Chains A and B, each alone.
Chain A
């Protein structure tokens, strides 16, 4: 059974810092890994999708990497802004999509 873990559970940083969010999974036989953002009481917004054959994806200030063999992914956020404050979730797809519990990020002005 696929287990997805995200560390840390919560993170508070001052504006402008670069930061890394971590995601680990137990079954490396995945089709893809996706990072999402969720604002309070809202649905999920897809940030980056990495197919199993890829090592990383970039979008603006975001960069996600995937190491299937070690069961790890990282989401790098450069030059963080208060508007980045949200919960970030990673999800892996095998037969279905399994989510981690998320990292709650607060960026202080």
Chain B
């Protein structure tokens, strides 16, 4: 039973570029949440997708957008990258909104 998988594991981009990160949820899960974790900090909630709709959103600018596909997998897109977007991006899946979250190992994004 595969857990949450994220790709790529590492990524280096230049300021102003765009990036797409991908997440496949744990089998049986229908809800995907994305988090940004800066070094030495706890994860910050970006948004959550359920039934292909953005259900909740944290305090992130519109440069951060996402999508959920019919198979429950999800993408996180970040436009016009800034140096401050460098972080570990974590995807978590769950069944519904009140069950334990299962996290992937994240994508380490470095913006130069």
Please tell me which stretch of B14-22, B38-46, B65-73, B75-83 contacts chain A, meaning at least 4 of its Cβ atoms lie within 8 angstroms of it.
B38-46
A-B contact pairs, 8 of them (CB 8 A): A31-B97, A34-B101, A46-B101, A46-B103, A51-B98, A89-B43, A93-B97, A100-B42
**A109 interfacial contact with B, CB 8 Å:** no
Q: Is the beta-carbon distance between B45 and A96 smaller than 8 angstroms?
A: yes
Q: Given B4, B101, B105, which contacts A42 in the complex, CB threshold below 8 Å?
A: B105
- Using an 8 Å CB-CB cutoff, how does the interface string of B28-60 with A read, 1 for contact, 0 for none? 000001010000111111001000000010100
Contact of B98 among A32, A43, A89, A96 (CB under 8 A): A32
* B interface, size bucket: 20 to 34
**Interface residues of A, CB < 8 Å — how many?**
24
**Interface of chain A, helix or strand or loop or mixed?**
strand
Q: For B43, give its contact among A45, A95, A99 (CB under 8 Å).
A: A99
**A54 to B4 alpha-carbon distance, docked (Å):** 28
A46 contact from B48, B90, B102, Cβ within 8 A: B102
Would you give the shortest CB distance from A102 to chain B, in whole angstroms?
6
Chain B positions 88 through 104: 1 when the CB is less than 8 Å from some CB of chain A, otherwise 0? 10101000011011111
**Cβ < 8 Å to B, chain A residues 4-63:** 4, 31-32, 34, 36, 41-46, 49, 51
B67 to chain A, nearest CB (A): 19
Would you call A97 an interface residue if the criterion is a C-beta within 8 Å of the partner chain's C-beta atoms? yes
Contact: A95 with B56, CB < 8 Å?
yes
